[in-house]
Structure 1
Amino acid sequence: MSATQILEPDHLAAVQRRTLRVVVGSQVLGGAGLAAGVAVGALLAADMLGGEGYAGVPTALFTLGSALAAFLVGRYTQRLGRRTGLGVGFAAGGLGAIGVVIAAVIGSVPLLFVAFFVYGSGTATNLQARYAGADLAAPEHRGRAISVAMVSTTLGAVAGPNLIEPLGSLASALGIPALAGPFLLAAVAYLAAGATLLALLRPDPYLLAQQLAGPDDELAADDGAAPRWSRSVIAGATVMILTQIMMVAVMTMTPVHMRAHDHSLGDVGLVIGIHIGAMFLPSLVTGALVDRIGRLWMSVAGGVTLLAAGLAAALAPADSLGLLIVALALLGLGWNFGLIAGTALIVDGTSVRNRAGVQGSIDVLIALAGAGAGAASGVVAAAAGFGFLAISTAVLTLVMLPVLLWSRSAARAN
């Protein structure tokens, strides 16, 4: 297909549809890689390190790894396109998952730490793929384009945690510790996602968007026409950072909290599976609402939902599986609102020429915030309890409200 043909609306729409199909395929695989490991990472660390206070270490490590990966994926995308940036990122995540399995087999804590760090590349890449859906989308359809990339994660993300027990049985049969079993799935899923993108994401949507913008496009040049850190970008980053802090902290400690109160691994898989489903499954509806009622109002809805999640988690009796499901479902839904609305705010506030770099930088901040939350979650829960952890992080998310008001006042002034 020639560049002239691509400029035709019908051909451009066809390219966008193909892009979304490829992204959907990679995200199904990526979701399985993400969720399978996240569900048992804290349990594996507590088992190998010998204490609940260490349960947040894996989340901190793979979130720190995702921070570096987000930066590198953003920079590679800026220079080489989405295909290369996302493909290499998923491949690194797969290698990290293999390293976790080897570390569990030989009982090596240093290797476990390094492997969790590299495994974080898959998490960062899975999130960055949401931007690929919006590269060629019209401004009024960006929320829905982002949501298509996210909702496709649901199938793999929900299946992963619910395969904990059979994967554990398979691992035991192979002479591998049962808690390392889900990382076998993560390795295969991440490597397959990377191969899918490298082979099929053609033409590259980000490079094509740059070509279509052209030198005369008012948002194309890096001359200040689209500020790198406009109020829209700052508001979007704030929403996503705060929602990530709460989601990571509470999700990390939920399996440990449940196991401490005699819930089975199957119960843990069910709760985390529903939580991750709530993170991604509502995306199509969320994306439509973001486009229809606005980015700021959906961000506010995310904050309110997270507050409800914190209250539910804090008040739920430890032996109540049903209330824990409600709390973690609300946690996932609030995160979904915040991520899609925040992502749309960032795409709106950036130039096509600098967008990938800005997106990567913001995802670094999100990952670092999540790393801090993961590292602190075990200590806070051990010292003050799971309920205090849930309610304190929920209150923290309300900081987004004055930032959103500030952003809205600037938009009205303009």
Structure 2
Amino acid sequence: MSASYFGRNSSFAGLLTANTMLGSAMPMLIILGGLAGLTLAPTTALATLPASLQTLAGLLAAAPFSLLMGRFGRKTGFFLGGAFAIVGALIGTWALISGNFILLCVAHLALGAALACYQYFRFAAAEVVRSEWQPVAISLMLTSGLVAAFVGPQVFILAKDAFAPIPLAGAYAAIGMLSVIGLVPLAFVSIPTIKTRSRRTTGSRFAALSVLKQRPVRTAVGIGAISQGTMVFLMIPTPLAMIGCGFSEAIAGDVIRWHVVAMFAPSFFTGFLIKWFGTRRIAMTGLILLIMAAMGAVSGLSSVNFYGSLILLGVGWNFGFIGATTMLANVVSEDEKAVVQGLNDTIIALVSTLCAFVAGAIVAGFGWQVLAFVAVIILVVTICSVMFEKRQTVRQ
């Protein structure tokens, strides 16, 4: 029944195809951010600046994209996001050709804004299916990340020397081509317009933020932010920690590869688990898996510890993030979607950015196991807070 339903839903198929193609830029940019920066930066200390600006752009662009989609529709927002990616890819290509580091930073700002826009595909997926299939649609939409995790690096390998002897310029051009191809399926997608009140004033938009006073909304936003933040907190410094423990770059890369697989592979069935067991249970299971991942990291520095921890981290993120997204989709009204979803993704981006910077400082100053122990404390506090919120709701 489910397979035939999604097979007949051309809008969902178009969104999934577009998200897969457009999202393939993300793993390529993980590789390019540091390498291209190292190639053009005036000093080694500035090598990661393009990647940092990319993250900052995502933080700043999340809410404006949501508000734009609320006013003009999802398709308009996705086409604009794709346009940002194309422009950023062209600027990045020319930056490598001309050897201009400032242009490279501008390129990553545009590309970071595009990646922020693509985060709304998961909400769009829930809007093109019947309500009972929303958790499955959100879950299946994230399977595109699994395909992108394999497609992106392979495209990078094939395209990086296309403009030889200029290194890496071809990879940026490939991102532009993928973006153009990814926009084609969107032309055949029909997404219901988000219904909002006419002549909405700025004041009424801010008034809609009062929805965050509702416990279910706070819980959904909190679980989503902690799931994403914990994943970034432990994933970003993993290669550095492994190399510091004497492992090779190849083994560290393999651990990250299996972590990415664990992040997206469960999406094939997470939605069905939510239908069977409920959204809150799956989201809480995700938080518990994240605690197990952090405790595994605390318990030792062997390859088994790293592989086990990062795989559990990926699955825990999947359950927590999809569960939180489904919770938010279920408790927010049509009129509140644009504001609340934008604020949700802004909070998630802010938490992720802070975790990325703090994780590096903790690993450098105190070590991997201290970092993991901090993650355990944060997750325990989060679970206690969610349980307290539920108890207060039951009392009322």
Shorter-chain TM range is 0.7 to 0.9
Residues 166-199 of structure 1: per-residue CA shift (max 9 Å, x gap): 555x35x623335x665444333334323432x1
- Structure number with the bigger relative contact order (C-alpha 8 A, sep ≥ 6) is 1
Cα drift, residue 351 of structure 1: 0.6
State the match for 1:302 in structure 2. 286
Contact 1:158 1:276 in 2 (8 A): no
State the match for 2:203 in structure 1. none
Give the residue type in structure 2 aligned to 1:118: A
Give the residue type in structure 1 aligned to 2:166: I
Residues 62-119 of structure 1: per-residue CA shift (max 9 Å, x gap): 2221122211220111011111112211331343344444445555443333332222
Tell me the SS of whatever aligns to 2:334: coil
Tell me the SS of whatever aligns to 1:399: helix
2:248 maps to which of 246, 250, 263: 263
In 2 relative to 1, CA 259–362 (structure 1 residues): closer, same or farther, beyond 3 Å? same
Q: Distance in 2 between matches of 1:67 and 1:308?
A: 29
The size of the alignment, in residue pairs, is: 381
What TM-score do the two structures reach when normalised by structure 2? 0.83
Contact 1:279 1:332 in 2 (8 A): yes
2:194 pairs with 1:194: no
In 2 relative to 1, CA 144–27 (structure 1 residues): closer, same or farther, beyond 3 Å? same
In 2 relative to 1, CA 26–325 (structure 1 residues): closer, same or farther, beyond 3 Å? farther
Q: Distance in 1 between matches of 2:293 and 2:155?
A: 25
2:273 pairs with 1:289: yes
2:58 pairs with 1:66: yes
Contact 1:232 1:348 in 2 (8 A): no
State the match for 1:367 in structure 2. 349
Tell me the SS of whatever aligns to 1:175: coil
Cα drift, residue 326 of structure 1: 3.0
Contact 1:69 1:89 in 2 (8 A): no
2:165 maps to which of 175, 180, 184: 175
What TM-score do the two structures reach when normalised by structure 1? 0.79
Give the residue type in structure 2 aligned to 1:263: S
Contact 1:82 1:132 in 2 (8 A): yes
State the match for 2:258 in structure 1. 274
Deviates more, 1:229-238 or 1:323-332: 323-332
2:146 pairs with 1:158: no
Deviates more, 1:383-392 or 1:275-284: 383-392
State the match for 1:10 in structure 2. none
Tell me the SS of whatever aligns to 2:328: helix
Q: Distance in 1 between matches of 2:129 and 2:392?
A: 25
Percent identity between matched residues is: 26
Give the residue type in structure 1 aligned to 2:332: T
Contact 2:7 2:13 in 1 (8 A): no
Contact 1:63 1:368 in 2 (8 A): no
Contact 1:296 1:341 in 2 (8 A): yes
Contact 1:59 1:252 in 2 (8 A): no
Q: Distance in 1 between matches of 2:31 and 2:362?
A: 20
1:80 maps to which of 39, 50, 72: 72
Cα drift, residue 141 of structure 1: 2.6
